[in-house]
Chain A
């Protein structure tokens, strides 16, 4: 025991010159924002010397980890409710946005050629529309000759924030979906085949003729998949991408839900993509390790200020400036150390 103490002290002394300046921030959670968090962390480390260790273990895991207080922040694609936040003493704020995009595998159909609307998409995933030549699809695509081919709906087999956003939108536009299936990160799917992760869904859609799936837009774009257009709430056909997500984010009323937990599904606006999605950070109002929490807030502030171009390059969409201002106000007001001093002030 005594020996161990000496050894530890020696080790700490040996390491201290480096350790004195670098505080490693630890976070865990959603897989969807992992690429951009990793990229931000890399640049941030180069700029400030402070590292960020983010484990992309999934939204459910992120919530578990922050509640177990093993990490400085948790990350989730499915926001916690105001009540849940209140009970666990957490604050929540959106970090970056993306979108859920339907992708298909249909012979002769190019990216963006097929148009769907919410009710049709819901009927496909409910198993009520079974063939690509169904009248409901034909009506939305008068110029497209669709084959008499069985539709193979592909969906996530693991729990996922992508599924949550997708199901939330379908429940918004289809009462059948709301009552029969509901909204959660994992569902009891009436039809279709399940695949693990965005890459699993992308792979299955690419391999299965007549299939339809839903993935994060970045996956659809990188894998050059055949994405569809969607009819939005305003009745206009829009293509996925950062413009249509920004439009949805601008139309949303972010302060209407505690913890900025607005699901960007089915937002108004002519240009709005109906399945835009944000991803959230969870932190304690009174974190036990206040120094690390303060460092984490500095990192987030840096990411809001300087991370926009990097987000764009990975097909993520930065938060609107107005929302960022509100988030920072919330930080100053709500996140405090043991003595009640705010851990974030706009000047530092």
Chain B
């Protein structure tokens, strides 16, 4: 602050002294400059504080809205599977379960694929292909989520129902754990499908951040590794990944943040059923999908309040994930210096 002011006045002195060199006008110029600076300072601070106020306002509104539900159901709200608008008994277990499971499936697929694409783009890809593939991946991030939802419902889900799911069910029907995970009937839509759609949506996040951090690996490290006879896989596994570990995890977390909160695409393909099922092919629901589906027509205070409580829970989950992501990326920046 102090040093900033001094810089400004020195510049001002220079500019003002050249034509006039009158002390009173110099003071006026200085005063004016100070004033503009003070206004600018105030504006920036105001904007930043407004964001803070907005965020706390959202949290407070969520807590007030959720209070009736949390007061009625208590801590058990988190562990109750029932969601019964007729008897007004609500629990968040099924939406929380669905949110975590679909996000987990998405990350399970998007992370390895994203890493491979990023490594290919930075290390192996011919220059000619680098830009088209890179742009294609980034375009995936630009597709509105409702398009994913419609595509998922009209193209992807029927394909899964007729070709993929029966195959899984038949193949794994005698394998101990997998027979439970992939139990029929094949609905086409369900948690599995939602997870796959999310994987496609998360892929660009994982890829582009991984690509950026892979680019930051000093060439000398890789060249040395190749020099002592490492294979491409060994360079990736033992040089690039360890060096960029923290940044890559930060990218995962940003992707996970998107997967947790994604609403439209998921609600099209997840089946919107408040059930906790072991089978991934069964319909389920997520927190954001439940809110989007039911909020407008929720009758009664307890119903509405339970939906707001779901929102509060999602807020906390996303907050934790994003905080971890920020922390990881911060550590990377320090490491880079």
Binding site for B on A (CB under 8 A): 57-61, 63, 130, 150, 152, 157-160, 181-189, 191-196, 203-204, 207-210
Separation in Å of the B152 CB from the closest CB of chain A? Answer: 10
Write 18 A-B pairs (CB below 8 A) sorted by A numbering: A57-B296, A58-B297, A59-B297, A130-B185, A150-B185, A152-B188, A157-B272, A183-B86, A185-B299, A186-B299, A186-B303, A187-B85, A193-B187, A194-B272, A194-B283, A203-B153, A208-B157, A208-B189
CB-CB < 8 A to A183: which residues of B?
A: 86
Of A150, A152, A183, A191, the most chain B CB neighbours within 10 A belong to A152
Question: Which of chain B's residues 283-299 have a Cβ closer than 8 Å to chain A?
Answer: 283, 285, 292-294, 296-299
Q: Which residue of chain B has the shortest Cβ distance to A207 in the bound complex?
A: B158
- CB pair B154 A196 closer than 8 Å: no
CB-CB < 8 A to A157: which residues of B?
A: 267, 272, 293-294
Partner of A158, one of B84, B87, B297: B297
Question: At the interface, yes or no: B122 with Cβ under 8 Å from chain A?
Answer: no
Partner of B273, one of A58, A158, A186, A192: A192
- CB pair B296 A60 closer than 8 Å: yes
Partner of B296, one of A58, A130, A150, A181: A58
CB-CB < 8 A to A57: which residues of B?
A: 296
Tell me the complex Cα distance, A146–B285, Å.
Answer: 31
CB-CB < 8 A to B211: which residues of A?
A: none
Question: What 9 A-B pairs have minimum CB-CB distances, sorted nearest first?
Answer: A159-B297, A194-B272, A150-B185, A193-B271, A157-B272, A188-B84, A182-B86, A186-B85, A157-B293
- CB pair A196 B185 closer than 8 Å: no
Separation in Å of the B168 CB from the closest CB of chain A? Answer: 15
Q: Which residue of chain A has the shortest Cβ distance to B293 in the bound complex?
A: A157
Of B161, B272, B297, B298, the most chain A CB neighbours within 10 A belong to B297
- Contact status of A204 and B189, CB under 8 A, knowing A186-B85, A193-B272: yes
- CB pair A204 B87 closer than 8 Å: no
Question: At the interface, yes or no: B186 with Cβ under 8 Å from chain A?
Answer: yes
- Contact status of A159 and B298, CB under 8 A, knowing A188-B84, A188-B85: yes
- CB pair A185 B297 closer than 8 Å: yes
Question: At the interface, yes or no: B171 with Cβ under 8 Å from chain A?
Answer: no
- CB pair A194 B154 closer than 8 Å: no
- CB pair B273 A193 closer than 8 Å: yes
Tell me the complex Cα distance, A186–B294, Å.
Answer: 9
Encode contact with A along B241-280: 1 for CB under 8 Å, 0 otherwise.
0000000000000000000000000010001111000000
CB-CB < 8 A to A182: which residues of B?
A: 86-87
Partner of B86, one of A59, A184, A207: A184
CB-CB < 8 A to B86: which residues of A?
A: 181-184, 187-188
CB-CB < 8 A to A186: which residues of B?
A: 85, 294, 297-299, 303
- CB pair A207 B293 closer than 8 Å: no
CB-CB < 8 A to B299: which residues of A?
A: 60, 63, 159, 184-186
Separation in Å of the A145 CB from the closest CB of chain B? Answer: 20
CB-CB < 8 A to A150: which residues of B?
A: 184-186
- CB pair B185 A152 closer than 8 Å: yes
- CB pair B161 A61 closer than 8 Å: no
Question: At the interface, yes or no: B145 with Cβ under 8 Å from chain A?
Answer: no
- Contact status of A188 and B298, CB under 8 A, knowing A207-B153, A207-B154: no
Question: At the interface, yes or no: B162 with Cβ under 8 Å from chain A?
Answer: yes
Question: At the interface, yes or no: B83 with Cβ under 8 Å from chain A?
Answer: yes
Question: Which of chain B's residues 151-178 have a Cβ closer than 8 Å to chain A?
Answer: 153-154, 157-158, 161-162
Q: Which residue of chain B has the shortest Cβ distance to A194 in the bound complex?
A: B272
- CB pair A208 B296 closer than 8 Å: no
CB-CB < 8 A to A152: which residues of B?
A: 185, 187-188
Q: Which residue of chain A has the shortest Cβ distance to B295 in the bound complex?
A: A158
- CB pair B293 A196 closer than 8 Å: yes
- CB pair B293 A194 closer than 8 Å: yes
Question: At the interface, yes or no: B82 with Cβ under 8 Å from chain A?
Answer: yes
Tell me the complex Cα distance, A185–B293, Å.
Answer: 13
Q: Which residue of chain A has the shortest Cβ distance to B189 in the bound complex?
A: A193
Tell me the complex Cα distance, A58–B299, Å.
Answer: 11
Q: Which residue of chain B has the shortest Cβ distance to A208 in the bound complex?
A: B188
- Contact status of A61 and B158, CB under 8 A, knowing A192-B283, A193-B189, A208-B187: no
Separation in Å of the B63 CB from the closest CB of chain A? Answer: 22
Separation in Å of the B86 CB from the closest CB of chain A? Answer: 4
Apart from A152-B185, A158-B296, list 20 A-B contacts with CB within 8 A.
A58-B297, A60-B296, A60-B298, A63-B299, A150-B184, A158-B297, A159-B297, A159-B298, A184-B86, A185-B85, A186-B303, A187-B86, A188-B83, A188-B86, A192-B283, A193-B190, A193-B272, A193-B273, A194-B285, A196-B293
